[in-house]
Amino acid sequence: MAKIRVVHYLNQFFAGVGGEEKAGTPPVSRDGPVGPGKAFQEVLGQRGEIVGTVFCGDNYFHEDLERTKREVLDLIAGYRPDVLVAGPAFSAGRYGLACAHVCLDAVQRLKIPAVGGQHPDNPGVGLCRSQVYIVVTGETTAGMRQAITTMAELAWKLAMRKTLGTPEVEGYLPRGVRRNVFVGEDGAERAVKMLLQKIRGELFTTELPLPTVDAVKPPLAVKDLKEAVVALVTESGIVPKGNPDHLESAQASKWIKYDIRGKADLTGEEFMSAHGGYDNRFGNEDPDRLVPLDVMRELEQEGRFKQLLNHYYVTVGNCTSVESGRQYGKEIATELLAQGVQAVVLTGT
């Protein structure tokens, strides 16, 4: 590969078309670099060429997402790139999400690597970070030069299939990939060393960063439970016997809802556990031990709440990523809201 072929994705603003008033601009392509792409080209020098720039208005992109993604991908594919670069989008939300969608399509459909540049809080990060290399940027364009240099180097290495260093060294957000490395000291020695550093109040770098969790403000309590529709939701993998919809025992790819109208409880004849993370014997014997339908029906008949929702919602939490969990929660919430649900009883294993 003499020179790598790069396509650059921008929004209408960075492409120089205009601001908010031009946010309805449909996708367009131009040969060669545009706007910040010129700085990219400088960093790449003789190693590569920005063969084309594709840009789209921030509003147009999201108005009909599937249509826009197709249009943008077609324009990108026309240039037969070795790598896609998108942004940097800094903390711009619509732009960041658009970059994330375009990068994911490049990875999944064109099978080429993609590099973004975003502030870690940009919503685009959550959408694509496991599959896209996102260079960490500041919140504003003040860090443009630095971001572009890091992104260009990374794009070149990826297109040349070079071995990458750690995210800290290369400047991108960790994708959640673990790689084995050889080090001089064994685990016990390293752990004791870190402990001593911690006791002495010195800085140390953990080898196992705990995932950061986003706090959700507690919603207000249910005012009048007697008038409330309540739903049962579970990550315990309780499904109809035989698992007809093939819910995965780990790393679930979906959630499913099952009709419980007219059922007084969940019996082992009709239901089973598809979860791969705990001993299923007890749940297979009596699934009420995981989804307490029998007691919920009893309380419903006693008028403790108005009605139990006609379906229960299930997924499997076993090794399922927080990102997926968040997505399933959001989708289930949309359904629950549409059905007037005011409270959820969720069982977890």
For another protein, the binding residues (CB under 8 A) are: 213-222, 225, 233, 236, 278-283, 285-286, 288-292, 294-296, 298-299, 304-305, 329-330, 332-334, 336-337, 341-349
Closest to another protein by CB, 193 vs 304, is 304
Taking the complex as a whole, how short is the minimal distance between the CB of residue 271 and another protein, in angstroms? 13
Taking the complex as a whole, how short is the minimal distance between the CB of residue 323 and another protein, in angstroms? 14
N-term to C-term CA, the chain: 51
Taking the complex as a whole, how short is the minimal distance between the CB of residue 310 and another protein, in angstroms? 17
Taking the complex as a whole, how short is the minimal distance between the CB of residue 158 and another protein, in angstroms? 33
Residues contacting residue 214 through CB under 8 Å, at least 6 positions apart? none
Cβ atoms of 15 and 89 within 8 Å: the answer is no
Taking the complex as a whole, how short is the minimal distance between the CB of residue 101 and another protein, in angstroms? 21
Closest to another protein by CB, 31 vs 285, is 285
Taking the complex as a whole, how short is the minimal distance between the CB of residue 336 and another protein, in angstroms? 6
Taking the complex as a whole, how short is the minimal distance between the CB of residue 59 and another protein, in angstroms? 24
For residues 280 and 274, give the distance between their C-alpha atoms in angstroms, rounded to a whole number.
8
Beta partners for 162?
none
Tell me: cis bond preceding 88? Omega within 30 of 0 counts.
yes
Closest to another protein by CB, 59 vs 243, is 243
Q: How far is CA 62 from CA 25, 99, 115, in A?
A: 11, 11, 21
H/E element, 307:
strand 307-314
Map tokens 């299939």 to a residue.
161
Closest to another protein by CB, 183 vs 215, is 215
Instruction: Report the length, in residues, of the chain.
Output: 349
Closest to another protein by CB, 161 vs 304, is 304
For residues 123 and 7, give the distance between their C-alpha atoms in angstroms, rounded to a whole number.
23
Closest to another protein by CB, 24 vs 278, is 278
Cβ atoms of 154 and 136 within 8 Å: the answer is no
Closest to another protein by CB, 200 vs 281, is 281
For residues 287 and 293, give the distance between their C-alpha atoms in angstroms, rounded to a whole number.
9
Number of H helices, E strands in the chain: 11, 12
